[in-house]
Structure 1
């Protein structure tokens, strides 16, 4: 492929990915006209790209437009590290859900955010919460803080240099205070989120380690209760994360 042809192919790929990024949980179906308007692409170009994405399976036809296709879901489950972690973690997440009667969560780091890769919902949790595939900033989630506490100094510095988004009035955005909290997480191996990511909810999380001793994710429970009650779940969350880390081949001392 010549250089101009290669550039054209790369440009088409980038624009196609831009179209896929338009979808969200609140807008799972879009018309081609709306997609063209939001991206600023000519409608003819948008129509052509949507046709290619439909043919490949990244999009599928809906009642009033197009929506994300099942091919993306299939590919997502082939990501090696996340797929293996999720596969091994599901029994632990179910066990946490059954023992605590709370929503259990599994998340990994994606840039300076966490992304939820598994969730076992509690019937008792009436407050709308995150979803599988959803993202939140690391600094205001227990899952994120559990991962941050065992991340490299350079990465922690890059996150704490901001911007540190305030999601609720209780979100901690002071870098020095966050550093102190991360020291506490390393000492206890447990992180907390008391209404920092969403009012009315708490979260208790513990880190997950791989065979190399590297932190690869975190496991948590979420509910709506008092701070003192929330802390009572730290033991079972920590025990579950340690057992999962052991299943992943992590050294016994991490």
Structure 2
């Protein structure tokens, strides 16, 4: 139990002071560095923390916490809508599928069809998936304004393999191709033996919420080449986007119905307050 309490304290401290390093955490908590490091490693392996891309000795809370805490309802809605489609894509291609969201300069894995062993193994060995060498990252960037794309890529871009694009302009050119084609294919830029194919999931305003990703490791890469993987992933992402749009319209209709009822209700409520979708107002 002591190790669990330590891990919780470490997580809370990172959340309050991020980015923060080992020595500072140890001093703040009054806990030996070895114990803090074990807690950091455990939280990192579980996907709750991520390293600072520019300074690997410092730590951030990952996007997974925000998603599970339901602080971004549209992402939660996308995750729920995506589940059956991710399974269908997996059945169709025979390859692992996943749902990723943008988390600063990295991508966070928030859902998938079946075993996430391949993704977890990659994260544990190489760290969180960087935007610039990620099909999911390029897919999401392709639907963001040009200024935002540059802001995300305005940093030192690390080279992971000989194929990695590390010049921001080269990455932006690749993103422009994704905008044209509707999907991204990245071959061997994060790991030499890994190919990823992604397409963005959009909200009703056309803004990216997440990205559907198909990934193949080692001998399974040939399946991506043989299949029309880009079109399959794009069709999957569009189906999820359509469901999100229908869901949003239904929510708006419900809200309009509620407003009508409130507006037509008798006005003799005195100063009673009415709660409408979390907003208090006077009748």
Indicate the TM-score class for this superposition, using the shorter chain for normalisation: 0.5 to 0.7
- Aligned-pair CA distance for 1:42: 5.9
Instruction: Name the residue aligned to 2:135.
Output: 142
- Aligned-pair CA distance for 1:127: 10
Distance 2:117 2:105 in 1: 31
Summarize the alignment of residues 1-254 of structure 1 with structure 2, pairs less than 5 Å apart.
Answer: 16-18=12-14, 39-41=25-27, 45-46=30-31, 76-79=68-71, 80-121=73-114, 128-130=121-123, 135-224=128-217, 225-226=221-222, 229=225, 232-249=228-245
How far does the alpha carbon of each residue in 1:192-237 deviate from its partner, in whole angstroms, 9 at most, with x for none? 1101111201011001100121111110100132497166211111
Larger Rg: 2
**Residues 67 and 75 of structure 2 are in contact (CA less than 8 Å); yes or no, is this contact kept in structure 1?**
no
Q: CA 1:127–1:74 in structure 2 vs 1: closer, same or farther (change >3 Å)?
A: closer
Distance 1:230 1:38 in 2: 51
Q: CA 1:160–1:84 in structure 2 vs 1: closer, same or farther (change >3 Å)?
A: same
**Residues 105 and 220 of structure 1 are in contact (CA less than 8 Å); yes or no, is this contact kept in structure 2?**
yes
Distance 1:41 1:230 in 2: 55
Determine which structure has the larger helix proportion and give its number: 2
Please, what is the CA RMSD of the aligned residues? 3.9
Query: Secondary structure in 2 aligned to 1:41?
Result: helix
Q: CA 1:231–1:203 in structure 2 vs 1: closer, same or farther (change >3 Å)?
A: farther
Distance 1:153 1:244 in 2: 25
How far does the alpha carbon of each residue in 1:50-109 deviate from its partner, in whole angstroms, 9 at most, with x for none? 9xxxxxxxxxxxxx989669xx97982423222211111111111111111111010111
Q: CA 1:248–1:19 in structure 2 vs 1: closer, same or farther (change >3 Å)?
A: closer
Runs ≥4 residues deviating over 4 A: 19-22, 35-38, 64-69, 72-75, 121-127
Q: CA 1:113–1:228 in structure 2 vs 1: closer, same or farther (change >3 Å)?
A: closer
Structure 2 unaligned spans of 5+: 1-8, 47-63, 249-283
**Residues 201 and 211 of structure 2 are in contact (CA less than 8 Å); yes or no, is this contact kept in structure 1?**
yes
**Residues 75 and 210 of structure 2 are in contact (CA less than 8 Å); yes or no, is this contact kept in structure 1?**
no
**Residues 10 and 25 of structure 2 are in contact (CA less than 8 Å); yes or no, is this contact kept in structure 1?**
no
- Aligned-pair CA distance for 1:137: 1.4
- Aligned-pair CA distance for 1:120: 2.3
Output the TM-score relative to the length of structure 2.
0.61
Distance 1:147 1:246 in 2: 17
**Residues 168 and 199 of structure 1 are in contact (CA less than 8 Å); yes or no, is this contact kept in structure 2?**
yes
**Residues 102 and 121 of structure 1 are in contact (CA less than 8 Å); yes or no, is this contact kept in structure 2?**
no
Output the TM-score relative to the length of structure 1.
0.68
Structure 1 unaligned spans of 5+: 1-12, 23-34, 51-63
**Residues 209 and 217 of structure 1 are in contact (CA less than 8 Å); yes or no, is this contact kept in structure 2?**
yes
